[in-house]
Amino acid sequence: MKRLALILILAGASAGDLFAADSRAAFDAANRLYGQGKFAEAAASYEKIIQSGAASPAVQFNLGNAWFKAGQFGHAIAAYRRAEQATPRDPDVRANLQFARKQVGGNLSVTPGLAQRTLGRMTLNEWTLLAAVALWSWLVLLALGQWRPAWRRGLQSYVLLTGLATAVLGSAVAADWAVNHSPKTAVVIVAEAVVRQGPLDEAPAAFTAKDGAELTVLDERDDWLQVGGNPQRTGWVKRAAVTVL
């Protein structure tokens, strides 16, 4: 039985290595295409890597670069945004996202506030792990107090501190989710997307959004997304014209 388990573990590990090796080879091949100036082909290769389940911030970043060089600013911004969600402290990602936004001349007015900047320093998962550590510490201290009631007085301040940390970090998780994940963002990936007043082809145009414009998704209906522009303009845009983060 033990031998069988060992075989299964080794088989799983080697399969994982093979998978990683394949991904690495594909990644290097895509990088070579990029280096040869075949940006569209490089972008397609990076997309394949992501579809194969080996998405990583570096792949998203390189995909953004490839799309940018191919002149697809909307796709590039979307890829940079995904990379930023995974590695918010990567200066390269921030620089390229900023650069791409400047190229499309949009969304620079969306200046994040202090809270958003603070939340943006870490990923949602990092906030979550921090909150989990605080929660575990708090509950372990509470449990110790139940197990050894005599220790409760000594643990009181630590319980208070960890409880406070849990509350703050839990709120940060909730806020980060609410700010960065709950309202989805749609990035325009066509030269000019017509945002209509209703989810119909015949509906009059409310405004147009150019390639790379970042819009907040408010609602969805069939092939249409209700999006909010800036300032306070809403309308319906076809799904095919945007990519949703």
Partner 1 sequence: MRDSSLQNSIQSCRPKYFGRAVLFLLPWIALAIAPTALLAATLTATLDRDTVAVGEGATLTLVFEGGAPKNPPPLPRLQNLRVTYSGQSSQFSWVNGQSTSTVTHTYVLTPVQPGDFSIPPIMVDVDGKTLSSPAILLKAVRAAAAQPDAAGAESQLALLKLVLPKKQIYVGEIIPIELQLYVRDSVQNIQQFQMSPFNADGLAFGKTVQGGQRQARIGNASFSVVPFQAALMAVKTGTLKLEPVDFSMVMVLPVSGRQRDPFDPFGMFQRGDQRRATLSTEAATVEVLPLPDGAPAEFSGAVGNFSLNLTAAPTEVAVGDPITIKAQITGRGALDAVTLPVPATWQDFKTYPPNSKVQATDALGLQGTKHFELVAVPQNAEIKQLPPLVFTFFDPEQKAYRTLTQPAIAIQVRPGATSASGSLVGSKTETPPPAQDIVTIKLRPSRSGGASRPLITRPLFWAVQSLPVLAWVTLLVRRRRAESLANNPRLRRQRQVAQFVTQSLKDLQTHAEEKNSADFFALVFRLLQEQLGERLDLPASSITEAVVEERLQPRGLPAPMLARLHELFQACNLARYAPVKSTQELKAFIPRIETALREMQEMKS
Nearer to partner 1, 24 or 233 (CB): 24
Interacting residues toward partner 1 by CB under 8 A? 23-24, 27-28, 31-32, 34-35, 49, 53-62, 65-66, 68-69, 82-83, 85-87, 89-92, 95-96, 99-100, 123-125, 128-129, 132, 135-136, 139-140, 142-143, 146-147, 149, 173, 177, 181
Shortest Cβ 152–partner 1 spacing (Å): 10
- SS3 for 64? helix
- Rounded distance, CA 64 to CA 119, Å? 23
Nearer to partner 1, 34 or 224 (CB): 34
- Rounded distance, CA 61 to CA 153, Å? 52
Nearer to partner 1, 90 or 220 (CB): 90
Shortest Cβ 42–partner 1 spacing (Å): 8
Strand ordering across the sheet containing 224-228: 205-210, 192-196, 234-238, 224-228, 214-221, 185-188, 242-244
Nearer to partner 1, 100 or 194 (CB): 100
- Rounded distance, CA 80 to CA 77, Å? 5
Shortest Cβ 242–partner 1 spacing (Å): 20
Q: Residue 9: exposed, middle, or buried by beta-carbon count in 10 A (0-12, 13-18, 19+)?
A: exposed
Nearer to partner 1, 113 or 149 (CB): 149
- Rounded distance, CA 71 to CA 240, Å? 18
* Token pair for 36: 């040869």
Angle between the N-to-C axes of helices 57-69 and 39-49, in degrees from 0 to 180, rounded to the nearest 10: 160
